[in-house]
Amino acid sequence: MIPDNIQINQYKISNSSYFRVIFVKNIVKALKKIVGKNNVLTDELILALYSKNAIGSSGKALCVVFPENSTHISEIVRLCYKENIKIYPQGSATELSGSSTPHDGIVMSFSKMNKIEEINIVDGYVCVQPGVRIHELNDVLSEYGYMFPVDPASGKSATIGGAINTGAGGLRGARYGTMTDWVLGLEVVIPDENGTLLKLGNNTLKCRQGYDLVRLIVGSEGTLAIVTRAFLKITPAPENIVVVTSFFNSPEDAMKAIGEIKKRRMLPAMMEFIDEDVVRMGKEIIDVKTEGEGHMLIVGQECPPELAEKCAEKLVNIMKGADATYIDFALSESEAENKGLINLRRAFYPLAINLGSKEFGESITLVLIEDFVVPVSKLPEAVRIVKEAGKKYGFMVLTGGHVGDGNLHPMIWTDVENKEMMEKAEKFYLEIMERIIEIGGSISAEHGIGEMKREGLKLELRKRGSEKALDIMKQIKEVWDPKSILNPNKVV
C-alpha cells in the first residue's frame, strides 16, 4: 500500500526501478483523485501511442490524463508543480517538429474538452474548448454560412489547442494568414504553484491590453501555458471557388504566373505548388486523369457563381501568358473534386511515405518535412537550393507547399535504423536552412521549432545578428514556467 501522506517526489529521486514504480503509481493515484479513475490511462500500448507524433518521432509518457475542465487542469498543474512532474500538452499529435513528444512526464490530452461553447455571428467570434478539431468547427460554422479560415492540410485531425500552439497556417494562408491573425482571446493555466487561470485578450474584435500576451502564446508550442478555452474570429465562407490547375516547364514559369496574379490585383484563397517529380511519381501511384506534366500550380479564387466563367477565363489567360504547358479548370469546388484537380497535391505526403516504405522495406521510414518560408519572388531559387542539396547528400527531394505566401515543404525519407543516412539527413537540413536564411527566408513558417529545429532557430538568429533574442526567449520561458515542468526542452 502507498501511504497517502507520502511525498511523491521522495520516490522520484531514487533511480531504483522499485521506487520508480511506486513513484508512477503515486502520480497516477493523485491524478485519479483529481480527474476520476477513468480519465488516467497507463496501459503500455496506449502510452506508446500517445508518445509519438505524426512523423514517428517518439518519447516516453508515464501516463495519459484527460482533464474535463479548467479546474481539473489547474489542480493537475498544482500537483505537478509541487512534485516536479513534467506535463506534455497534446492535441492530435500531428505536429511535425517534435513539439508534442513526451519525455518522462504526463501527457495531457484534451479529447474530453471538445465542446464548441458559443457561436456569435453578430459579434464575430466563436468560443471553443482546446480539443475541438478544426474541421468539426467548420462543419458547424458552415450551417451559418461562416468559416474559421485557418486550414492545415491535417485539419480533420488537428485541434484548436494544437493549431494555436503551433501557430498553424494552411492552404488558405495567402489570403487568410495563420492562427496569429484569428485568435482574439485565450483562457490559459500557467505552470505556477497555484495553477493560476488567466484570461488574456477578449472576445471583442479589437483589444489592447498592454503587451500582447495572446500572441505570445500563439506559436509557443505548449511551453508557456496550457490553453483551456479560445475565442476565435470567424468570417463569412465564400459562395464559390474557381479552381485552375496548370503545368509548367520550370518553377520560374510558375512564379511568373503567381507574380501576374498579384499584379492583376487578385488574392486567391489557395495557391499550391508541387514539383515535377511529385507530379511524375504521383501519377504512377494514384488515379489522376490529367495529361499535364512538369511543375504544377493550383489556384483557387473565391468568386460568386455568376462571375465564375469570367474569373476562370482571366486566370487561364494569366497561365497561358506564363507559358503553361497544360491547363484545366473548374467553375466550383465540387466540379474540381469531380475532376480530381487537387488530388496530386493531396498525394504529396502519402507519396513520400509510399516511396520510403518501398525503398526501405521492413525498416522504419521517417519522412522529414521541411517548412521554410521565403519572399515569394525567391521561390524558384529555393526549389533549386533543395534539389541541389538533395543531389549532394543522395536524397530524392519532393517539393511542394503553400506558395502564395512563400511557404515550401521539401520532403525526404530516411531509414531510421541507418545511422549514416540519418546523419546525412541532418546535414542536408542544416545546409538548406543556412542557404534559405541567406536568401532572406526563415526556417519555419507554420510547423514551429519543437525539438528538431532548435539548432535552426539558433542559426537563424545568429545569422541575423540577434543572438540576444534567444536569451530573451529563455528568460520569457523562465518567467512563465519557473520550474520548467511544461513541455521542457522544446523551442529554446
Among 95, 328, 415, 451, binds ligand FAD (CB under 6 A): 95
- For β-strands 241-248 and 295-302, DSSP reports them as antiparallel
Q: Which of residues 421-450 bind ligand FAD (CB under 6 A)?
A: 446-447
292 scored as a contact of ligand FAD (CB under 6 A):
no
SS3 string, 402-427, reads EHHHCEECCEEEEECCCHHHHHHHHH
Write the binding mask 468 to 487 for ligand FAD: x where contact by CB under 6 A, - elsewhere: -------------------x
Q: Name the minimum Å distance from CB 60 to ligand FAD.
A: 15
Cell numbers of 96, please? 511535425
Q: Name the minimum Å distance from CB 110 to ligand FAD.
A: 5
Among 26, 74, 166, 365, binds ligand FAD (CB under 6 A): 166
224 Cβ partners below 8 Å, 6+ apart?
Answer: 190, 216, 217, 476, 477, 480, 481, 486
Q: Name the minimum Å distance from CB 337 to ligand FAD.
A: 19
93 scored as a contact of ligand FAD (CB under 6 A):
yes
Binding region for ligand FAD (CB under 6 A) out of 85-93, 264-272, 273-281, 471-479: 85-93
The CA angle 274-449-269, to the nearest 5 degrees, is: 40
Q: Name the minimum Å distance from CB 263 to ligand FAD.
A: 26
Among 165, 246, 301, 354, binds ligand FAD (CB under 6 A): 165
110 scored as a contact of ligand FAD (CB under 6 A):
yes
Among 57, 70, 92, 246, binds ligand FAD (CB under 6 A): 92
Residue appearing with cell numbers 493537475? 76
Binding region for ligand FAD (CB under 6 A) out of 30-38, 83-91, 235-243, 290-298: 83-91
Q: Name the minimum Å distance from CB 331 to ligand FAD.
A: 25
Q: How far apart are CA 381 and CA 490, in angstroms?
A: 31
**Are 368 and 413 in contact, with CB atoms under 8 Å apart?**
yes
Which of 253, 371 has the CB closer to ligand FAD? 371
* Torsions phi, psi for 248 (to 5 deg): -135, 155
Which of 380, 488 has the CB closer to ligand FAD? 488
Q: How far apart are CA 232 and CA 219, in angstroms?
A: 15
The dihedral sign for the CA sequence 213, 214, 215, 218? positive
Q: How far apart are CA 168 and CA 186, in angstroms?
A: 16
Among 154, 203, 365, 414, binds ligand FAD (CB under 6 A): 154
Among 59, 201, 222, 441, binds ligand FAD (CB under 6 A): 222
Q: How far apart are CA 409 and CA 97, in angstroms?
A: 13
Binding region for ligand FAD (CB under 6 A) out of 38-46, 60-68, 164-172, 270-278: 164-172
51 scored as a contact of ligand FAD (CB under 6 A):
no
Among 59, 67, 102, 170, binds ligand FAD (CB under 6 A): 170
The 103-109 sheet, strands edge to edge: 40-41, 60-65, 103-109, 87-90
Beta strands in 208-269 (DSSP E): 226-233, 235-236, 241-248
27 scored as a contact of ligand FAD (CB under 6 A):
no
- If DSSP codes are grouped into helix, strand and coil, which group holds residue 106? strand
**Are 372 and 445 in contact, with CB atoms under 8 Å apart?**
yes
**Are 450 and 421 in contact, with CB atoms under 8 Å apart?**
no
Q: Name the minimum Å distance from CB 492 to ligand FAD.
A: 13
Conformational region of residue 204, where left means phi above 0, alpha means psi within -120 to 50, and beta covers everything else: beta
Residue appearing with cell numbers 497544360? 326
401 scored as a contact of ligand FAD (CB under 6 A):
no
**Are 439 and 374 in contact, with CB atoms under 8 Å apart?**
yes
Cell numbers of 278, please? 511529385
Which of 24, 164 has the CB closer to ligand FAD? 164
For ligand FAD (CB under 6 A), the number of binding residues is 34
Among 89, 149, 219, 356, binds ligand FAD (CB under 6 A): 89
In angstroms and rounded to an integer, the radius of gyration of the C-alpha atoms of the chain is 24
**Residues β-bridged to residue 87:** 106, 486
Among 26, 51, 94, 138, binds ligand FAD (CB under 6 A): 94
Among 54, 213, 396, 459, binds ligand FAD (CB under 6 A): 54
What is the number of helices (H) and of strands (E) in the chain? 18, 20
Among 105, 162, 185, 201, binds ligand FAD (CB under 6 A): 162
158 scored as a contact of ligand FAD (CB under 6 A):
yes
Among 96, 347, 367, 443, binds ligand FAD (CB under 6 A): 96
Q: Name the minimum Å distance from CB 48 to ligand FAD.
A: 16
Of all residues in the shown chain, the one whose CB is closest to ligand FAD is 162
**Site residues (vs ligand FAD, CB under 6 A):** 54, 89-96, 99-100, 110, 130, 152-154, 158-159, 161-163, 165-166, 168-170, 221-222, 226-227, 349, 446-447, 487
